[in-house]
Structure 1
């Protein structure tokens, strides 16, 4: 059921992204960023549909992602790219509004939300999303900002091929897309987790089995009751918070849990291993 739910979310988001392309961006020749933007350029300059170019350009990047991010992630990414490409073939290119600025804003918001959901459910739209994820595994940089930086080259390409006014609309669109992606994809946000529990060994074992994070355990004592407790400290991502809560509640419903946002993590956070084992 989890797999079907994940694929269903990716399927819907991929269609929504195709709608954003064909109804907001392409009618005004406003491009998406990265490989998708290059596919749009080729689609506008050649008789071959942008969806076909999207598949061809993504193949080498997906092969690299397969080796670095795992087959499940790339399988979901291929599914997303295929759905988007097919949807772009059948969804008509219709100009929803004549205002290019409105189209760039709404196209950026819609495509950003779609990309964020796809990545949230352990997939990608291929292209620079895969490259951005590989880079964010090494550095705690927001994915949207990373992808925006990588996509900026497409803006200059579109400026030379078309005109600089459209290039600026493209820049606005991919900037908005990056902001929306970072509102949905919050993996770069780290949280400090503190758990005070009378069942320290059980909670520690459960978290170590499912969380793939380091945990520091100290002895504590309740000031009012005098009861002996264990205090568990760890740093997790915002994604992991969703399943950490029920894990703790399952072992000790009366545990005291404190969660605060962490500005920076120095040391081994085990980003690489954890991304494959726990995509969420």
Structure 2
């Protein structure tokens, strides 16, 4: 069921990308970034639909993802690229609004939310997404910001081939897409977790069984009650918090839990 749910999310998010491109960006010759942006560019300049270019340009990048990110990820990526391409082929290019600024904003938001969901459910839209995910395995930086940096090349190509005003709209769309991705894909955000509990040993075993994280256990004492307590401390990603909450409720619903965002993590911390 988890795999079916994941594929459904990727399926509908990929269709949403098709709507964002064909109803908001392409009618105004506003591009998105990276490989998809190049595909849109080729689609505007040649009689071949951009959806076909998306498939062709992603072939070498999918091979890179197969080597670096695993078979399941590549399978989800191929599925997403295929659905996005078919969507762009069959969804008519239709101008929702004559305002290019509104189109760049709404197109960027829709594309960003869709891409963030696809990445969050262990897939990608190919292109720069794959390259960025390979890079953040080494450097733990916000994904949307990295994608924005790598996509800037499309802006300059757009400016030379169309008009610099449209290139600026493209830059705005890419920037908004990056912001939306970082609101949905939050793996780069690290959380400090502290749990004060009477079930220290049981909770420690459950956390170690479900997380690939080190845990520091400290002996504590309630200042008012005088009871002996165990204090468990670790650093997790925001995604792992969803795993931990049910464990805490099951093992010790009365535990005192503090969760705070960590500005920076140094040392031996698994980032994958």
Query: What TM bracket, shorter-length normalisation?
Result: over 0.9
Cα drift, residue 245 of structure 1: 0.8
**Matched residue, 1:128:** 128
Cα drift, residue 140 of structure 1: 2.3
3-state DSSP of counterpart to 2:223: coil
Aligned equivalents of 2:161, 2:201: Cα separation in 1 = 63
Aligned equivalents of 2:238, 2:260: Cα separation in 1 = 10
TM-score, with structure 2 as normaliser: 0.97
Cα drift, residue 132 of structure 1: 1.1
Matches within 5 A, 1:24-173: 24-173=24-173
TM-score, with structure 1 as normaliser: 0.94
Superposed structure 1 runs of 4+ greater than 4 Å apart: none
Cα drift, residue 226 of structure 1: 2.2
**Matched residue, 1:276:** none
Per-residue CA deviations over 1:14-56 (Å, capped at 9, x if unaligned) read 1011000001101111001001001111111111111111011
3-state DSSP of counterpart to 1:257: strand
**Matched residue, 1:247:** 247
Cα drift, residue 93 of structure 1: 0.5
Residue correspondences, number: 272
Aligned equivalents of 1:70, 1:99: Cα separation in 2 = 42
**Matched residue, 1:275:** none
5+ residue gaps in structure 1? Answer: 273-280
Aligned equivalents of 1:76, 1:269: Cα separation in 2 = 27
Aligned equivalents of 2:42, 2:30: Cα separation in 1 = 13
Per-residue CA deviations over 1:49-79 (Å, capped at 9, x if unaligned) read 1111101111111111122111111111111
Per-residue CA deviations over 1:91-137 (Å, capped at 9, x if unaligned) read 00001111111111111111111111111111111111111112222
Aligned equivalents of 1:223, 1:216: Cα separation in 2 = 21
**Matched residue, 2:203:** 203
Cα drift, residue 141 of structure 1: 1.1
Contact 2:195 2:255 in 1 (8 A): yes
Per-residue CA deviations over 1:209-239 (Å, capped at 9, x if unaligned) read 1111111111112222222221111001111
5+ residue gaps in structure 2? Answer: none
Contact 2:140 2:271 in 1 (8 A): no
3-state DSSP of counterpart to 1:54: helix
3-state DSSP of counterpart to 1:193: strand
Aligned equivalents of 1:66, 1:23: Cα separation in 2 = 32
